[in-house]
Amino acid sequence: MEVHWLEQNEADVPKENAWFSANEIALLNGMRFAKRRDSWRLGRWTAKRALASYLNLPAHPDVLLRIEIRPAPSGAPEGFLANKPAVATISLSHGGGRAICAVAPAGFELGCDLEVIEPRGEAFLSDYFTAEEQALVTRAPVTDRARLVTLLWSGKESALKALHTGLRLDTRSVIVSPDDASFDLNGWSRLQVRYIDGRIFHGWWQHIDNIMRTVVANSPPDSPIPLKIPVYFSERASVCT
């Protein structure tokens, strides 16, 4: 199965809002805090651009405003095109001024996550990790523990998104097993997440600079494929390519 992905940062988001629908403008105007608005705009921009590229649509505000990202009853994001469900499954994550969106064919369970690598204390491990995962961290060199803990946490986040539960479910109900042995040409390595009901999610993780990324699905995906993003034409442009 092919999974595509796109990452954007705050500098990529246009200042104007011509690419938002009327419903989205109303939601945006209801947000009191600038940090929350900026994060929401970044997430929606990334998801809309990812869906447009995946569906081979041009990068123009008239197209992007027809794409909406709406929450399912579970809270998981769903893409809509012209008020109809898009023929795709998406997952979205943002943090540290960046956002990532994974896109796969409709009907699959998909989750992605992006985390800034930072030290976490022993209480974090005991509260959120299984005994098996804690033992894995304990065996790792001290200098590598922050990376490994972030990788395990990110894998959990991705799996819980694929399950459409998020952090409402005990994080110890999913057990992450990363593979450190091999990487593809884009720096992705395999991981597996076991859910307590017996289901297994397959996926990939990538560590570049201080950012950890994970993507999982209920069907073993190929290495994540970066989406090609055409130049965005602002509302002042009359043509697009």
Domain total in the chain: 2
118-177, pLDDT tens digit by residue? Answer: 999 999 999 999 999 999 999 999 999 999 999 999 999 999 999 999 888 999 999 999
**Domain ends where: 93, 108, 123?**
108
20-38, pLDDT tens digit by residue? Answer: 999 999 999 999 999 999 9
What is the reported pTM?
Answer: 0.92
**Domain ends where: 84, 108, 132?**
108
Domain boundaries, position 28:
4-108
- Quickly list DSSP for 20-75: S-HHHHHHHHT---HHHHHHHHHHHHHHHHHHHHHTT----HHHHTTEEEEE-TTS
Evaluate whether residue 222 is within a structural domain.
no
Same-domain pairing of 97 and 139: no
Q: Bridge-partner residues for 67, per DSSP?
A: 81
**SS3 state at 108:** coil
Parallel, antiparallel or unpaired: strands 4-9 and 225-226:
parallel
CATH number, residue 171? 3.90.470.20
